[in-house]
């Protein structure tokens, strides 16, 4: 059982959601970058990196950084730079870059090179996340979204060959033609670092991971946990269809976590920052306003369904109990007892071997982040780890 | 350059005896192509645009403008690659591939008249021009309605797909604003209603993906090479633009008429980009230019 600390490194200084949405359509693509203050940004990077270092000190298994462009949602256009900093500030934890958006790199051998550097720098601690990239990124980077999946698939092939095939060799693809593929350095982990792919439930991505033996990390911090459960079951099915043994660690749940002394306190402390996360930062990606989902990035029927779900979510009556309103989408907000029991239930039921916990979200300040991380690492993780490991051990060998 | 500054009067469609749409699916080099045709007589190849037949209107319900033309000749309108009924581009990545796809389509159609009158609206206008440049032998007359495709240094990169991006809640007002002179007019609301039915959403988003495959990286419907080649168009041409077209602003409208020496040019002062939906009366201008009346 793996417990990772996932960080988005968001910009926390936007006005409250209601005011923000009156002034701006979205936090993505076109939110003026004059809203970013580099002086505050410097302190913020320092704080956020410190929170990932703290995850190691608290005994978690790994830390996760990720790539986003031109938004307030995540301030890591180059997650590899952050991972490089972490190679120097951590000693033990796995460093997961989840991921590099391959179609945005030309040639994608750049990713093979940088990730090999990170693997060597970290002494073989890299987990290589490879990703198609979010819809908004295609507007920001002006990459043809109708080619996104095909480019991604070819680029994965190129990166894997670059890591494993003795160079120099030539690569003759539909999108990438390279006479000399011969990256120095090569990764320390052989034949190559583990590959994880984040996804929102696209059947194509799930099947791709299952067939290739890649980890599938379900991104589920906006949707109710049922949405992730569907992804997890689809992954189980795809793995068995691919004729592979199920490895729990390769199924990950990316979810928001906040732990406080009591349920009431946790809900009260987390609520404004969850609202900022969902109302401000996710605007432009999900929500009532502009949805930066480019044509051809997903098939038209999937897009129509996605929009219908957004409308249903926006139109759904809010539960009258404010607790239920928070727990509907973020069940892992509560006391240590609540969070560990719920987490263990999901872990056992869905056989999730990796939990990527978003321990800082939205505008959650440093003190609350640190307090929650301590409680999570001391009161939740050891318990769930032991129970889950025992549970998986009894299941070992069963399909 | 001749400027026809006549006011465009809506055609009285009540007087036109409409033929039913004839729909057929061609197989061209392993790709399916849905072809809608209307009317009888002299053929006119029609290449549609972003907000048009095939893209927002089902081929069974052509816009009044095309129905009016069909009273005088035969309009043959393939759905472009990626649009509902036609296979996506697949290995077609560039304009070069696209034009030769159109040549394949023309050959498969076996139309009597070669060369042929070709009319294009919006995206279709760009394609018609590129076809006329590469295969002048196939094009006898060229009608360009609010054509995309041209670039001039001052025109900037238009954020077409950004403006057409959907909203979680709230409909298609922004798309109507950039495509129509009046976003609340009947043609605009009929084409892109806020409460768009699922079948129409599938057509609209599916079509945009087809358009993105050629328009996203041109970049954004603006060929950097077209202006310097435009003088090579030999066929007699008619260029019609709206005076309030947000996608073909004044600088581009001038560049079209300057580049196509000898072309007839018409500007409809109050029209937006979606000429074919907004201006059914243009049928009179087009049939006169084609010599159909």
CATH of the domain at B245: 3.40.50.1820
Asked if A293 has any chain B CB less than 8 Å from its own CB, the reply is: yes
**pLDDT attached to residue B92:** 66
Q: Do A296 and B217 touch (CB under 8 A)?
A: no
Q: Does A247 contact chain B (CB < 8 Å)?
A: no
Chain A residues near residue B93 by CB distance under 8 angstroms = 147
Report CA Rg, chain B: 17
Cβ contact (<8 Å) for A294 and B206?
no
Mean pLDDT of A50-68: 98
Distance in Å, alpha carbon of B192 to nearest chain A alpha carbon: 15
* Mean of pLDDT values over A109-129: 98
Asked if the interface predicted TM-score (ipTM) of this complex is over 0.85, the answer is yes
- The answer to whether the beta carbons of residues B32 and B87 sit under 8 Å apart is yes
Q: What is the pLDDT of residue A398?
A: 58
- Distance CA(B182)–CA(B93), nearest Å, equals 35
* Lowest-confidence region among A117-126, A191-200, A300-309, B72-81: A300-309
| Predicted local confidence at residue A314, as pLDDT | 78
Query: Do residue B217 and residue A142 have CB atoms under 8 angstroms apart?
Result: yes
User: CB of A215 within 8 Å of any CB in chain B?
Assistant: no
CA distances from B87 to B26, B34, B129, B205 (A): 11, 9, 22, 15
Q: Residue B109, Cα to own-chain centre: how many angstroms?
A: 19
Collapsing DSSP states into helix, strand and coil, what is residue A140? helix
Q: How far is A332 from A381, CA to CA, in rounded Å?
A: 12
Output the pLDDT for position A147: 92
The residue with tokens 């938004």 is A71
Q: What is the pLDDT of residues B235-260, one digit of tens each?
A: 999 999 999 999 999 999 999 999 99
Residue A146 has pLDDT above 90, yes or no: yes
Cα separation of B273 and B286, whole Å? 17
What value does the mean pLDDT take over residues A276-304?
Answer: 89
Is B1 a residue whose pLDDT tops 50?
A: no
The DSSP output letter for A290 is: B
Average pLDDT, chain B: 90
pLDDT, residue B259, reads 95
CA B261 from chain center: how many Å? Answer: 21
Nearest to B209 among A142, A174, A295 (CB): A295
Closest CA of chain A from B61, distance in Å:
21
- Give me the domains of chain A, ranges plus CATH numbers: 2-10+37-274+326-395 (3.20.20.30)
d(CA B173, CA B282): 25
Rounded Cα gap, residues A160 and A156, in angstroms: 6
- In angstroms, the CA A184 to CA A114 distance is 10
- Strand pairing category for A62-65 and A94-101: parallel
Task: Tell me the C-alpha distance between A241 and A233, whole Å.
Answer: 12
Number of domains observed in the structure of chain B: 1
Q: Where are the alpha helices (DSSP H) in A127-262?
A: 135-141, 148-164, 203-212, 225-241
**What is the 8-class DSSP label of residue A16?**
P
Q: Is the pLDDT of residue A399 over 70?
A: no
The number of beta carbons lying within 10 Å of the beta carbon of residue A115 is 28
Residues 6 or more apart whose CB falls under 8 angstroms from that of A280 comprise: A14, A16, A17, A20, A21, A27, A72, A362
Q: What is the pLDDT of residues A359-395, one digit of tens each?
A: 999 999 999 999 999 999 999 999 999 999 999 988 8
**What is the extent of the structural domain holding B52?**
2-290
Confidence of residue B20 (pLDDT cuts 50, 70, 90): low
| pTM for the full predicted model | 0.93
More confident residue, B171 or B185: B185
| Gap from A287 CA to chain B (nearest CA, Å) | 6
How far is the C-alpha of A347 from the C-alpha of A353, rounded, in Å? 7
pLDDT interval class at B21 (50, 70, 90):
confident
Taking an 8 Å cut-off on Cβ atoms, the answer to whether A29 and B162 are in contact is yes
Neighbours of B201 (CB within 10 A): 19
Instruction: List the structure tokens of A310.
Output: 């957004």
Q: Is the alpha carbon torsion for B258, B259, B260, B265 positive or negative?
A: negative
Query: What digits encode the pLDDT tens for the residues B119-164?
Result: 999 999 999 999 999 999 999 999 999 999 999 988 777 788 998 9
pLDDT score for B14: 37
Nearest residue, CB atoms, B169 vs list A30, A142, A314: A314
Among all residues of chain B, which has the CA nearest to that of A30? B162
Q: pLDDT tens digits, residue range A21-43?
A: 889 988 999 999 999 999 999 99
Q: What is the dihedral of CA A236, A242, A244, A250, to 10 degrees?
A: -50
Instruction: Please report residues of A whose CB lies closer than 8 A to that of B201.
Output: 300, 304, 307
Mean pLDDT score, B51-75: 94
Percent of chain B clearing pLDDT 70 (strictly above)? 92
Residue A138 has pLDDT above 70, yes or no: yes
């Amino acid at each position: 059982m793996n417990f990772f600390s996932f960080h988005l490194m968001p910009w926390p200084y936007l006005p409250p959601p209601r005011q923000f949405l009156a002034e701006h359509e979205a936090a993505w693509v076109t939110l003026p970058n004059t809203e970013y203050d580099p002086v505050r940004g410097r302190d913020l990077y320092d704080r956020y990196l410190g929170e990932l270092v703290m995850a190691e000190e608290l005994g978690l298994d790994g830390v996760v950084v990720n790539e986003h462009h031109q938004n307030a949602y995540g301030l890591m256009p180059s997650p590899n730079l952050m991972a490089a900093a972490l190679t120097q500030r951590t000693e033990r934890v796995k460093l997961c870059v989840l991921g590099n958006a391959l179609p945005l790199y030309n040639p994608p051998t750049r990713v093979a090179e940088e990730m090999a550097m990170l693997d060597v720098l970290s002494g073989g601690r890299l987990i290589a996340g490879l990703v198609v990239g979010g819809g908004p990124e295609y507007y920001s980077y002006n990459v043809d979204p109708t080619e996104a999946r095909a480019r991604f698939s070819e680029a994965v092939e190129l990166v894997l060959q670059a890591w494993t095939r003795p160079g120099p060799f030539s690569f003759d693809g539909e999108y990438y033609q390279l006479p000399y593929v011969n990256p120095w350095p090569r990764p320390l982990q052989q034949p190559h670092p583990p590959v994880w792919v984040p996804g929102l439930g696209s059947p194509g991505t799930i099947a791709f991971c299952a067939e290739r033996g890649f980890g599938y990390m379900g991104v589920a911090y906006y949707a109710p946990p049922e949405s992730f459960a569907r992804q997890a079951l689809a992954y189980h099915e795809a793995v068995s269809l691919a004729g592979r043994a199920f490895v729990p660690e390769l199924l990950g749940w990316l979810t928001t976590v906040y732990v406080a002394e009591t349920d009431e306190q946790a809900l009260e402390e987390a609520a404004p920052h969850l609202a900022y996360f969902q109302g401000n930062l996710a605007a432009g990606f999900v929500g009532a306003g502009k949805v930066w989902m480019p044509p051809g990035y997903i098939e038209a029927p999937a897009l129509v369904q996605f929009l219908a779900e957004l409308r249903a979510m926006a139109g759904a009556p809010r539960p009258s109990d404010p607790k239920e309103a928070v727990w509907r989408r973020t069940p892992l907000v509560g006391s240590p007892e609540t969070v560990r029991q719920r987490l263990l239930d999901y872990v056992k039921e869905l056989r999730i071997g990796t939990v990527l916990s978003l321990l800082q979200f939205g505008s959650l300040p440093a003190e609350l982040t640190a307090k929650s991380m301590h409680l999570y690492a001391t009161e939740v993780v050891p318990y769930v780890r032991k129970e889950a490991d025992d549970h998986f051990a009894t299941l070992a060998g069963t399909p | 350059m001749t400027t026809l500054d006549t006011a465009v009067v809506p055609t009285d469609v009540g007087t036109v005896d409409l033929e039913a749409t004839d729909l057929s699916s061609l197989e061209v080099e392993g790709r399916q192509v849905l072809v809608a045709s209307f009317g009888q007589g002299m053929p006119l190849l029609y290449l549609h645009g972003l907000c048009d037949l095939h893209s927002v209107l089902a081929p069974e319900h052509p816009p009044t403008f095309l129905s009016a033309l069909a009273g005088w000749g035969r309009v043959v309108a393939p759905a472009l690659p990626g649009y509902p009924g036609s296979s996506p581009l697949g290995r077609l990545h560039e304009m070069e591939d696209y034009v030769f796809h159109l040549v394949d389509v023309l050959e498969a159609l076996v139309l009597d008249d070669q060369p042929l009158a070709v009319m294009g609206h919006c995206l279709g206008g760009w394609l018609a021009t590129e076809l006329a440049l590469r295969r002048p032998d196939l094009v006898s007359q060229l009608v360009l309605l609010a054509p995309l495709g041209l670039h001039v240094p001052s025109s900037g990169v238009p954020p077409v797909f950004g403006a057409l991006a959907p909203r979680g809640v709230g409909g298609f007002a922004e798309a109507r604003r950039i495509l129509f002179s009046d976003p609340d007019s009947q043609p605009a609301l009929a084409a892109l209603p806020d409460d768009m039915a699922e079948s129409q959403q599938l057509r609209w988003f599916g079509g945009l993906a087809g358009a993105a495959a050629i328009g996203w990286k041109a970049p954004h419907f603006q060929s950097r090479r077209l202006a310097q080649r435009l003088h090579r168009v030999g066929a007699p041409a008619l260029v019609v633009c709206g005076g309030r077209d947000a996608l073909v602003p004044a600088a581009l409208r001038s560049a079209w008429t300057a580049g196509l020496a000898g072309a007839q040019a018409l500007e409809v002062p109050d029209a937006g980009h979606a000429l074919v939906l907004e201006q059914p009366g243009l049928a009179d201008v087009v049939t006169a230019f084609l010599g159909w009346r």
